[in-house]
């Protein structure tokens, strides 16, 4: 059977739902196709189920940063709040500009978008897998695995990236757009835990510590973050580690953990404290030098990396040079990087379809008129904190035609 629409949107995630709503708001007969059995699966997992929707702070995008920033310029955080308010969802801002639904539940975001789809009479079909797309005589043809053909005047690809396969991540959209003469920049995991050498993390699994962390290549610092690091059986995790992960692109890199700057104002202050402990705990194990500063297992790891003998020696056996080694190691604890975990463990896909082949003001292809792409399928990825969902929502709204009605939406709220 054949079905014709003004606009077809492929992909029922954050970008796809907002694109379909935006299209229908402009009076276009719109069809939203999703291959899984429900919409918004990745949204449901966002922010541990709380859904960090967007961020009001400085933008933090990678890949084609200029393109991402221009998209957000045309549909910013305030515009998105107006959009969601229009359909009944209230939001609140928390630390570092993070914006959440007031319910703190991702289900509220999905329900709001689904209600907006109904209000705007968008046809929604789940469990529809598109096997191929083409264009002839200004009409797009989308053929399903059931043999049905859906045609449209405009086509918006919002199938997301290859990350989180269990939540619907795939390479389908890359294949669709490559078949339409677009190019793919290599994809790789972003916001993903990192696998490290075993020696430096041995016995530390489950320990969390707030610290400064730097990804380094020899003396060169590639990226720095501050926050909570989680030691795991295979390496390091935590938001600050995952935000470093997209820069793990070669062998020979290592993490340097500054474990003391959050505790002591200066290295001299730390050294004075350790000196004082040497005089107080002279007949005890060297572990006492760090007792109450770190958990015992982390204290042992720091002393071991510093080369301090732990075969029955006591604190009084250590000289000033030994104390300096301990302090230096605690400020520069080294963990060798092996690789990141794979795409299925990543929150976001880095890389994607080249952004310079699309207009950031409209998300329309520069190669094929009427073809649009939005969301994670493009070569844009952001930090934790709502940046990735914000780009998905904003690019979807723009692709569906949001700019023409921006003032109307603001007035309606």
pLDDT tens digits for 242-283? 999 999 999 999 999 999 999 999 999 999 999 999 999 988
Q: Tell me what the mean pLDDT of segment 105-134 comes to.
A: 97
Q: Tell me what the mean pLDDT of segment 330-334 comes to.
A: 98
Backbone angles phi, psi at 70, to 5 degrees: -70, -40
Tens digits of residue pLDDT in 82-91:
999 999 999 9
b (16+ CB within 10 A) / e for 351-389: bbbbbebbebeebbbeebebbbbbbbbbbbbbbbbbbbb
pLDDT number for residue 46? 82
Tens digits of residue pLDDT in 339-385:
999 999 999 999 999 999 999 999 999 999 999 999 999 999 999 99
- Give the gyration radius of the chain's Cα atoms: 26
Locate 182 and state its tokens: 């677009």
DSSP class of residue 180 equals T
Select the CATH number that applies to the domain covering 2-189+344-412 from these four: 3.40.1190.20, 3.30.450.20, 2.70.98.90, 3.50.50.60. 3.50.50.60
Helix intervals (H) in 132-263: 172-179, 239-245
Helix intervals (H) in 295-360: 296-305, 320-331
Report helix, strand or coil for 236.
strand
Asked if 17 and 31 count as a contact pair (C-beta separation under 8 A), the reply is no
Dist. CA 81–CA 56, nearest whole Å: 10
Intra-chain end-to-end CA distance of the chain, in Å: 41
Asked if 53 and 109 count as a contact pair (C-beta separation under 8 A), the reply is yes
Task: Residue count of the chain, please give it.
Answer: 413
Give the count of beta carbons closer than 10 Å to the beta carbon of residue 208: 12
Q: Tell me what the mean pLDDT of segment 136-158 comes to.
A: 96
pLDDT number for residue 412? 37
Domain spans of the chain? 2-189+344-412, 193-341
Q: Is residue 51 classed exposed, middle or buried when 0-12, 13-18 and 19+ CB atoms within 10 A define those classes?
A: buried
Asked if 120 and 128 count as a contact pair (C-beta separation under 8 A), the reply is no
- Decide if pLDDT at 406 tops 70: no
Dist. CA 156–CA 147, nearest whole Å: 21
């Amino acid at each position: 059977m054949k079905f014709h629409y003004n606009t077809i949107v492929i992909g029922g995630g954050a970008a796809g739902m907002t694109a379909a709503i935006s299209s229908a708001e402009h009076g276009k007969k719109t069809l939203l196709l999703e291959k899984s059995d429900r919409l918004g699966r990745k949204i449901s997992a966002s922010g541990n189920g709380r859904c960090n929707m967007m961020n009001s702070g400085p933008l933090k995008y990678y890949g084609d940063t200029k393109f991402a920033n221009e998209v957000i310029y045309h549909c910013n955080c305030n515009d998105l709040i107006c959009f969601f308010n229009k359909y009944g969802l209230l939001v609140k801002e928390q630390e570092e500009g993070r914006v959440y639904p007031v319910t703190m539940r991702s289900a509220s975001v999905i329900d709001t978008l689904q209600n907006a789809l109904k209000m705007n009479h968008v046809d929604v079909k789940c469990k529809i897998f598109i096997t191929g797309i083409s264009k002839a005589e200004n009409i797009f043809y989308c053929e399903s695995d059931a043999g049905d053909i859906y045609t449209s005047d405009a086509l918006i690809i919002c199938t997301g990236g290859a990350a989180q396969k269990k939540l619907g991540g795939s390479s389908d959209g890359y294949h669709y757009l490559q078949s339409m003469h677009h190019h793919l920049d290599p994809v790789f995991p972003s916001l993903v835990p990192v696998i490290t050498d075993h020696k430096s993390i041995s016995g530390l699994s489950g320990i969390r510590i707030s610290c400064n962390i730097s990804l380094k290549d020899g003396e060169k610092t590639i990226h720095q973050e501050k926050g909570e690091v989680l030691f795991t059986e295979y390496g390091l995790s935590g938001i600050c580690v995952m935000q470093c992960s997209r820069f793990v692109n070669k062998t020979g890199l290592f993490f340097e953990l500054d474990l003391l700057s959050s505790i002591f104002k200066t290295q001299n202050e730390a050294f004075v404290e350790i000196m004082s402990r040497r005089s107080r705990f002279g007949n005890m194990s060297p572990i006492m030098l760090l007792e109450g500063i770190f958990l015992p297992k982390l204290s042992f790891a720091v002393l071991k990396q510093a080369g301090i003998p732990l075969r029955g020696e006591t604190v009084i056996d250590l000289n000033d040079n030994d104390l300096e080694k301990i302090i230096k190691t605690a400020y520069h604890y080294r963990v060798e990087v092996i690789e990141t975990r794979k795409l299925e463990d990543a929150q976001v896909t880095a890389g994607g379809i080249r952004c310079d082949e699309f207009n950031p003001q409209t998300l329309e292809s520069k190669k094929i008129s009427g073809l649009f792409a939005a969301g994670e399928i493009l070569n844009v990825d952001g930090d934790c904190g709502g940046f990735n969902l914000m780009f998905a929502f904003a690019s979807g709204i723009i692709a569906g035609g949001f700019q023409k009605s921006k003032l109307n939406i603001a007035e309606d709220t």
